[in-house]
Amino acid sequence: MTIQWFPGHMLETKKLLKHAISKVDVILEVLDARLPLSSANPVLNKLSADKFCLKVLNKKDLADPVRTKAWLDYFKKERNRSVIAVTGSQKEETDAVLKYCTSRIKRNRARKIKIMVVGIPNTGKSTILNTLAGKKIAKTGNVPAVTRHQQRTSLNNNIDIYDTPGILWPVIEPARRASILAASGAISDTAIDYTDIAFFSARFLIESYPGLLMHRYDFLNSVPDDALVLIEQIGAARGCLKKGGIVNIQKASELFIRELRAGKIGPISFETPEDIDDDTKTQ
C-alpha cells in the first residue's frame, strides 16, 4: 500500500522550517517510541543537519519497554545520537528533556535559548509543550495535523520553545512503513482503509504479541493464525454485527484500531533496530 497524504499546510511548514531552524539553538525531534524508524522524517534530518538535535522517543507508556531500550541503545551506540524516552504528559520527564538541552548550549545568560520541536503528525509534540509550560498553550488531539502554524512559548530560565506543525513526506514508502504510520494514527483516517490497516495490525500482533491479544480479548480460546478470523472473532464478541448475525468487518476493524492506538491491547512496538536495512543506515 502506497499512501500519499501531503496537505498544503505541510508544504508551507517545510519552507518555514528551513528558514526557522537556522535561528534556533536546539532541535527536539519527537518520534513515536512505538515506531522510531517510521516516524523519523528524512526531510527533517536534512534540514537540521547542522544543529544539536535531541531525539525524543515519546509515548513510551504505549511502547514495548524491551524494544524501547533496544532503540535507545541503538541511537546512542550505533548512531552516536542524543536520545531520551518519555511520556509527554509527565512533567518530571519533560523537564529532564529541557534540562538536557540547556546543558548542551553555551550562552550568555542574557540571551534566550531557542528550542524548536519538530516531528511528523501525532507524535505528541504539543502535549510535550503543554507539559513543559504547565498549562494548555497548544492544541492536542489523537488525530494528525492538529497544529497548523508555528507557535512560540516563553518558558522559565529565559527559554523560548517553538511548536511546529507536523510534516510527512509526499509519498510514503515502503508499504510496510505506510501501514505502520497509519496504524499509529500519524496519517489522516480519510487517507486510509480501516480494514487494510486492521488486517496489517492483526497479522503483526498475531506474530509478535499473541499473549497481549489473549489477555485483552479473553474470549479467545487461542490466537488464530489468520488476521480476518481474528477481526471476525473480535467483532462478533463486541457486537459489531449486521442483520443475520454477520460480522460487520468495517466496524470491527475500526474498533480494533481504536483500541490499538489507545494502548488498550498493551504496550507494543512495531519496529526494532533490526528492521533497519543497509540503505537506512547510510542516511
C-alpha–C-alpha distance, residues 73 and 4, integer Å = 32
pLDDT of residue 50: 75
Q: What percentage of the chain reaches a pLDDT higher than 90?
A: 52
pLDDT at position 277 over 70? no
pLDDT, average across residues 51-78: 95
pLDDT, average across residues 240-247: 94
Q: What percentage of the chain reaches a pLDDT higher than 70?
A: 82
Q: Say how many CA atoms lie within 13 Å of 217 toward its Cβ.
A: 25
Tell me the β-bridge partners of 82.
54
pLDDT category at 147 given cuts 50, 70, 90 is very low
Between residues 60 and 145, which one has the greater pLDDT? 60
> Considering the domain 3-171, what is its CATH architecture?
3-Layer(aba) Sandwich (3.40)
State the alpha helices, DSSP H only, in the chain.
8-20, 42-47, 65-73, 91-103, 125-133, 175-184, 194-208, 210-216, 227-237, 249-261, 278-281
Least confident of 19-33, 104-118, 250-264: 104-118
pLDDT at position 125 over 70? yes
Q: Are 205 and 213 in contact (CB under 8 A)?
A: yes
CATH number of 193-261: 1.10.1580.10
pLDDT single digits (tens) 79-101: 889 999 999 999 999 999 999 98
pLDDT at position 155 over 60? yes
pLDDT at position 36 over 90? yes
Least confident of 6-10, 33-37, 117-121, 186-190: 6-10
pLDDT single digits (tens) 212-231: 999 999 999 999 999 999 99
- The domain segmentation of the chain, as residue ranges, is 3-171, 193-261
H-helix or E-strand containing 56?
strand 52-58
